[in-house]
Amino acid sequence: MKAPDTSKEPVMSNEIKESYHRGPWNKGKLTGQKPPLKLKEIWAIRIRLQLGNHTRGLALFNLATDSKLRGCDLVALRVKDVAHGGQIACRAIILQRKTQRPVQFEITDQTRESLATWIAKADLKPEQYLFPSRLRASPHLSTRQYARIVDRWVSSIGLDPTTYGTLSMRRTKATLIYKLRSINLIYEWFISKIIHRVAMQPARLLHIKDRAPWVLTAFEPAASAIRSYG
């Protein structure tokens, strides 16, 4: 019996073999929504950047938390987007690359201060990118570079860089605002209950008067901490 001729059969290249045996892209990686940074973690990163004199890193971190922008929009910001006439604006509006819709965000005092320091140190002009890349091939920071910078931030305070990412920066301020509103709602509910009890039971007014100052300030530490963030 004649053996089959295999000379005309297609031969699989090495590249195809490697891609065929390569595992899924998310194997061993944590997928899903990234958690936001907590208030104490924000300040821990911020203090380390200040002590290390990382002017660009501090400006990038502050603006990332304030703006809640996607990485592609954040790294593509120009000086004229946040500064007018040599002064950092209180608010900025840009056109999102993904949705092609304008978005407005506020810039807090500490972020304006860090941006002004960075722009003066780097001697940036209005038409230049706010965070230029140190590589000649790229005019500004790439999203990959930004992701690696975020990894270094979270690693510097002992967090797992595989758990956090650039999405964490987007969710941070929104989560703080949500918590602040929740505290305010609880505070208002608590005040209404006290007023109701005073109105319905005047005989207990003296006891409530003695205890109220301490009880009403129970929520103040958390609320003041979030307000101090901006």
For position 176, what pLDDT does the model report? Answer: 80
* Residue 42, both tokens: 């924000």
Q: What is the pLDDT along the chain (230 residues), one digit of tens a residue?
A: 555 555 555 555 555 555 555 666 566 666 667 889 998 999 999 999 999 999 999 999 999 999 999 999 999 999 999 998 889 999 999 999 999 999 999 999 999 999 999 999 999 999 999 999 887 778 899 999 999 999 999 999 999 998 999 999 998 988 887 777 666 667 676 677 666 565 555 545 445 445 445 444 555 555 555 555 54
For position 205, what pLDDT does the model report? Answer: 46
For position 201, what pLDDT does the model report? Answer: 54
For position 214, what pLDDT does the model report? Answer: 47
